Chain A
Amino acid sequence: MKSLTIAAAALMLTAGLAQAQTIRMGTEGAYAPYNFIDDATGQVTGFEIELGNAMCERAGLECTWVRNDWDSIIPNLVSSNYDTIMAGMNINEERQAVIAFTQPYTPATPSAYAALSGDVDVEGGVVAAQTNTIQAGYVAETGATLIEFPNPDQAVAAVRNGEADAILADRDFLAPIVAESGGELVWVDGMDRVALGEGIGMGLRQSDTELLATFDAQITAMKEDGTLNELIVKWFGDDALIFE
């Protein structure tokens, strides 16, 4: 115990007191094209990274990115390990009880079921989803057998190897995977657009009202001058949903 207190004391002394306000932005880094790790550099990149950097630049803030596993992404926000979450997180009531969201920076994006064949029974079969997502909650309610994975990639792998009959995830995440699977993965008939959630927003601590207002204003500004739509088209293709 003694060495513990000594270590703590040492940390307190050595950690400097200078403080230019740096905003730490949390993301998952495993949800292409929203956020993922660039092979070449090992840094995070993607739609949300570019959007976040643009907003910080406009607001004159200094921002750094922090990778965190999806499992603990909200607990680490509320315990102040970083200040914002941009990780393809859909705005929903359950999360709003705990954290605050900016207005959505994507239109309400549909989710979709993908499977090895188009005629899978998504209400009676086994459906894979990422733990603690709105999709996982939705599957648990439909009566299908929910099988949960800690990251979205494993959920896709489970469908590929037959462990699960179908996967439910954001359509934008699944679209490139389905397109590049060479016909292996297809959309489930009539289930390629399931409306869930209210769009993806940036999550902040509820007590952090000032920062929330800053980013909210930036999103409004970027919506109005069309830069947000440009970014959406850049990362999700020409037929992506954009703001009117």
Chain B
Amino acid sequence: MFSYCADPSSLEGLVWLSCYLTSGTHLLFYASFGTVLLLLAITAPIALLFGFGGAMASRSRIAPLRWFGGIYTSMVRGVPDIIFFLFVPIALDQGFEWVRHQILCDSDAPVRQGNDFVVCAAAKLPLNSAAPWVHDVYGIFLAVIAFSVVFGAFAANVLSGAMQAVPRAQLETAEAYGMSRAQVNRRVLIPQMWTYALPGLSNLWMILIKATPLLFLLGVEDIVYWARELGGSKTSAFTYPHPDWRLYYFLGILVFYLGMTWISGRVLDRVTRRLSKGQATMGGEALRKETPA
């Protein structure tokens, strides 16, 4: 980073620290915060989509779809999320490659050879020749799916609760105006349910933030991976030898998460106020009294 960092072993004190904190591995560590934020930004909407699908499925008039919705939500609820995280990415990866193998390969060699799971070179995902960043992106993609499956189930719980909470009278009024079932859903039910869903969804967002360290279990090089890697004691084989500093790195991560949840809490409070406006709920009533007409 800095020109005076060429020979760190001759440096001391703050100068050494400034070089240490800007070393190549540290830059990767800082970048991994971005990975976490990126994962959050992608996972949240996808999980919401999954949740929406699940909630709609569990309200569906088609019985198998309803059962599927029910089983999906209750199964994720009954199993610790880590088990899903250990299981889903491998299963997905092998599933994708198996499908590609069936389509793209003309060999009839079996995919499972003893312990090995082998697909032909063209079916590899990503291809062996792909740039390293493609592999990283693919890893994150699998992680996003795993997170979305789990949090989608939670979101389905919240959303189906919220759909039930929308006052019956509002829906009946819409029906009285002659709207079809789909129209009622689209014009009344879905816009109205958000205010009821928001407390649950904000909770879910908080849980999602706090679940991101589990990324490290999925083999993504996230902040936990780097904190452990960088904090461990280093011998003189390394450019910056130092004793075991993991505690400091983890305290840093703790501060990061506290900051994240604190900021999120502030933002979500404002959104809640916003959505409560004009609603027939206690929150809405309180707002009405607050602002003189």
Contact = CB atoms under 8 A, between A and B. Distances in A.
B100 A7 contact: no
Contact of A19 (B115, B128, B238, B239): B128
B23 A39 contact: yes
B128 A207 contact: no
A32 B132 CA distance: 23
B244 A157 contact: yes
Interface in A67-83: 67-69, 72, 75-76, 78-81, 83
Interface string B2-26: 0000000000000000001001110
Interface string B120-134: 011011111110100
A85 to B, nearest CB: 13
Interface stretch (B91-99, B202-210, B276-284): B91-99
B122 A19 contact: yes
A15 B126 contact: yes
B46 A3 contact: yes
B127 A19 contact: yes
Contact of A80 (B27, B96, B118, B129): B118
A32 B237 contact: yes
Interface string A9-22: 00110011111111
B121 A19 contact: yes
B24 A157 contact: no
B90 A7 contact: no
Contacts of B113: 206-207
Nearest to B57: A1
Interface in B228-249: 228-229, 232-241, 244, 246
A88 interface: no
Interface stretch (A104-112, A125-133, A148-156, A188-196): A148-156
B233 A153 contact: yes
A156 B239 contact: no
Contact of A207 (B49, B103, B118, B246): B118
Q: Kindly name the residue among A40, A75, A180 whose own CB sees the greatest number of chain B CB atoms within 10 A.
A: A40
23 contacts: A7-B141, A12-B103, A18-B127, A18-B129, A19-B121, A21-B128, A24-B128, A30-B232, A32-B237, A32-B238, A39-B20, A39-B24, A40-B23, A72-B219, A78-B115, A79-B94, A80-B119, A81-B93, A98-B115, A176-B235, A206-B113, A207-B113, A207-B116
Interface of B: 20, 23-25, 27-28, 46, 49-50, 53, 90, 93-94, 96-97, 99-100, 103-104, 113-119, 121-122, 124-130, 132, 135, 141, 145, 219, 221, 228-229, 232-241, 244, 246
